[in-house]
Each structure stands twice: as structure tokens, then as C-alpha cells.
Amino acid sequence: MKVAFRIWRQDNPNEKGGFKEYQVDNLNADMSFLEALDHLNELLVLRNEKVVAFEYDCREGICGQCGVFINGRAHGPHDNVTTCQLHMRSFQDGETIVIEPWRAKSFPVIKDLIVDRSAFDRIIEQGGYISAKTGTAPEANAIPIGKEISDRAMDAAACIGCGACVATCKNSSAALFTSAKINHLNLLPQGQPEAYRRVIEMTAQMAKEGFGHCTFTGACEVECPEGISITNIAEMNARYFKAKIFS
């Protein structure tokens, strides 16, 4: 299998980047997309050229580090997959594949396909945790929680923080990420004591980081590899107004 990779190259945040095309052959259709990039980098090393910088960790669709735009779509052509779960059989022999980093002011490019997503970490620092010292993990059934509530909490907790929602949104909004992290904890009994503070401080940090406002276009939900629902955003907004009234 042979393809042309048209990849965004940028040495550092202050340099003006641009696309560069590479012809790559001897690819296997069952290779993962990241394995194909590994193969390209091996060729670049042999040619004494700079390798393409891209981010990854688990390569199992868990960590959310591998996100890039592929042919104009976050994580590639399929729904609900991460870039590392994408395989070369999803493309045609001889196809030109355009690869670029997330595009958002709050996610500045570090190098090539790697962006700085530390803004997400700073949002989490403002309340995406439970601060009470609870000791060792309690027995699973010690606190009865209804199935509907536990299912909703688990669905929100599935967010891996890849940033596809921000990169896809025309406003570069982080509302889907932030709402998932807020609702995951605020739905559970353990999160109730800090619920008001959590929603106010996390949304304030989201705005401070320069993310745009949500206008409910739904693009974030479509491109989210975990299928996080935009109903979380509506729930976050309701929690925010309640917190402003009663806190």
C-alpha cells in the first residue's frame, strides 16, 4: 500500500508552519495510523531528515493523547474512535492524507502535530476532584446509587480529554469537556458537598483559558471518540445558574 502524507510541520510555537508532503510505500492495510507514521519517521531518520513530532501514550484508545485532524476530521473518518484506533485500511491505495494539529487558540502548537493541552489540566485543578479525605476505597455497595444516576455519571466520566471537541467546535469551546468533568462528580453523593463551588470555579477557569462559548451546533458530540452527549452542557448550565443563586 502506498499513500502520500501531507503533514503540518512547525518547529516551535513562534515559527510559521506549513504543509510538507511525503510519499510512503510498503504500508500494510492492517497497520494502525500511528504505526504508519512510525514507518514514515523511520524513513526520515534514514534520510537524515527531522522526524514528525506527534503525541501518543497507550495506543489503546484510553489516554486521549493522539488526537490530530485527518482529512479535515478529528481522529479521522470514523465515528467514536481515537487516532490510534484508526487503521490504514480506512484509506485507499494512492490516497493523499492530510494531517494537521488541533486548531484552537487555547491549544497552541508545540511542534508539528503536538499541541499544548495544559488548559484542560488547569480546569481540572479548579474542582475536577473530591477533596474530602475518605481513606481507603469503600465497599462498592456501601453507598446506594440508583442505576440511572450511576449510568449518567459513568457516561460523563468516559471523557478522555483528547480535545477533539475543542478543535472541532467553530467557537473552540471546551463546554463538552468541562461539563463532563463537572457532571461526573456532581451526580454522585461524594461530589455533592463541593458541587456549587466546582461548577462555578471550573467554568470560570474555562473562560479564563480563552475557550469560546458553546452555541450547541453539536459538532463536539459527533467527533467525541467516547460519544459524550451535549446534554451534559445543558445540565452544566442549569447547575451553574443554581449555584449562582444558592451559593
Measured CA to CA, the distance from residue 44 to residue 22 in angstroms comes to 10
Domain architecture of the chain: domains with CATH: 3-111 (3.10.20.30), 118-246 (1.10.1060.10)
Q: Which residues pair with residue 19 across a beta bridge? A: 8
Interval 241-246 mean pLDDT: 95
What pLDDT score was predicted for residue 134? 66
What pLDDT score was predicted for residue 120? 98
Lowest-confidence range among 101-115, 128-142, 201-215, 233-247? Answer: 128-142
Query: Could you tell me where the DSSP H helices lie in the chain?
Result: 33-46, 118-125, 147-157, 164-168, 175-186, 195-208, 219-223, 231-246
pTM: 0.93
C-beta of residue 8 within 8 angstroms of C-beta of residue 100: yes
Confidence label for 131 from pLDDT (cuts 50, 70 and 90): confident
What pLDDT score was predicted for residue 23? 97
CA distances from 110 to 58, 105, 167 (A): 20, 12, 15
